[in-house]
Amino acid sequence: MLYLPTLISIIEVLLLTVPVLLTVAYVTVAERKTMASMQRRLGPNIVGYYGLLQAFADALKLLLKEYVSPTQANLILFFLGPIITLIFSLLGYAVIPYGPGLAISDLNLGLLYMLAVSSLSTYGILLAGWSANSKYAFLGSLRSTAQLISYELILSSAILIVIMLTGSLNVTVNVEAQRAIWFIVPLFPIFIIFFIGSVAETNRAPFDLAEAESELVSGFMTEHAAVIFVFFFLAEYASIVLICILTSILFLGGYLYDVLPSFSFLSLVQYTNFDSYIEETLFRQRLGYNYSIISYNPLVEGLYYGLSLGLKSCVMIFVFIWVRASFPRIRFDQLMTFCWIVLLPIVIAFVVLVPCILYSFDIIPCNISLL
């Protein structure tokens, strides 16, 4: 018989994983419909109302396909690669705060954990490409590994600049630090660089050199089919959703929805009794702040927090799709040159500039200044 804490942990994981997989399924449909609209065609519109069940039809088709494995492949690593990629793509959701305290694990090193998990997914791609014993798959895995390692440096440097403003690796602290102003305003160039690195990190067009159909058939997943291909497909879109959520957290205020500095349910903890809280809130209402009595309910406010993070992430996912439909694929040498010659010097310059500005105005966060 399972102990109660173990049972609660399993329920928490299921409550997080199942919506993530459903979101990934509908992101594929949203991408196909959005790109169809941009290219003046219909897209999926037969299976289900408005094509909403197309993702499940595709998944069912792939799950029922007969799997044929290459005779010269290393079968253990061949099957292990996609599994590793999918697992590490889903592990990053464990530290995502969907509201104040609404995270499976609120780690003090949450951002470092996310970087580590995203880096480990590279091993799955490398194993899958090498074990297939195909030159196309091997070239695709080599490209993907070089690309992910290179742009990981850009992403980690951009995150470092954000950490300089907050003084913490905790994801929730980075969100709460944006109650005054979202970091996209003072760090807009870093936001652009982080977004470019995110597109490259998720192997998306125009940086999808690992899956260049015109050169490498299908890149590192050329020999994979049926269920194993579904793992790669889910891992790619789960990484896209995760990186869009991370972008929203670091630069767009995460789950915060207060445009004006109004009181929320969390402000109640600052007061010893409810009467003083009500008096202060009514006073702020008379000053013109947009505030509603409904936000006294913690459940409703939690819903607002979740919808805020979801809306910002949906906007970022749309931008990902927009970029794919707008730009042509670049060459691999241009991809690497752009990373090491263009982006890296700019990021290093900001890594030097931002601490200088913080020190000059004496606004270094306490957690950094005490080190």
- For residues 112 and 163, give the distance between their C-alpha atoms in angstroms, rounded to a whole number: 11
> Closest Cα partner for 187 from 243, 252, 246, 244?
252
> Closest Cα partner for 147 from 201, 220, 195, 196?
201
In this predicted model, what pLDDT tens digit does every residue of 311-358 receive, in sequence order? 999 999 999 999 988 988 888 888 889 999 999 999 999 999 999 999
21 and 98 both lie in a single domain: no
20 and 120 both lie in a single domain: no
Q: Identify the domain containing residue 42 by its residue range.
A: 1-58
53 and 102 both lie in a single domain: no
Decide: 86 and 123 in contact? Cβ < 8 Å.
no
**Which residues fall within 8 angstroms of residue 343, CB to CB, at 6 or more apart?**
154, 193, 196, 197
Written as six digits, the tokens of 29 are: 């449909």
- For residues 4 and 314, give the distance between their C-alpha atoms in angstroms, rounded to a whole number: 36
71 and 216 both lie in a single domain: yes
The distance between the two most distant Cα atoms of the chain, rounded to a whole number of Å, is 76
135 and 250 both lie in a single domain: yes
Number of domains in the chain: 2
37 and 75 both lie in a single domain: no
pLDDT at position 287 is 46
Decide: 178 and 253 in contact? Cβ < 8 Å.
yes
- For residues 214 and 210, give the distance between their C-alpha atoms in angstroms, rounded to a whole number: 11
pLDDT at position 371 is 43
pLDDT at position 1 is 54
10 and 112 both lie in a single domain: no
77 and 147 both lie in a single domain: yes
**355 located within any domain:** yes
131 and 10 both lie in a single domain: no
78 and 140 both lie in a single domain: yes
pTM of the model: 0.85
**Which residues fall within 8 angstroms of residue 309, CB to CB, at 6 or more apart?**
98, 99, 245, 248, 249, 254, 255
104 and 240 both lie in a single domain: yes
104 and 34 both lie in a single domain: no
Decide: 78 and 132 in contact? Cβ < 8 Å.
yes
**95 located within any domain:** yes
pLDDT values of the chain reduced to their tens digit, one per residue, 371 residues: 557 878 888 888 888 888 998 999 899 999 999 999 998 998 888 888 888 888 889 888 888 888 777 778 788 888 888 889 899 999 999 999 988 888 888 888 889 999 899 888 888 888 888 888 888 888 888 888 888 888 889 999 999 999 999 988 999 999 988 988 899 999 999 999 999 999 988 888 788 876 666 666 677 777 787 888 888 888 889 999 999 999 999 999 889 886 544 444 444 334 344 445 445 555 454 444 444 444 457 788 888 898 999 999 999 999 999 998 898 888 888 888 999 999 999 999 999 999 999 989 888 887 654 44
In this predicted model, what pLDDT tens digit does every residue of 106-153 receive, in sequence order? 888 889 999 899 888 888 888 888 888 888 888 888 888 888 888 889
**18 located within any domain:** yes
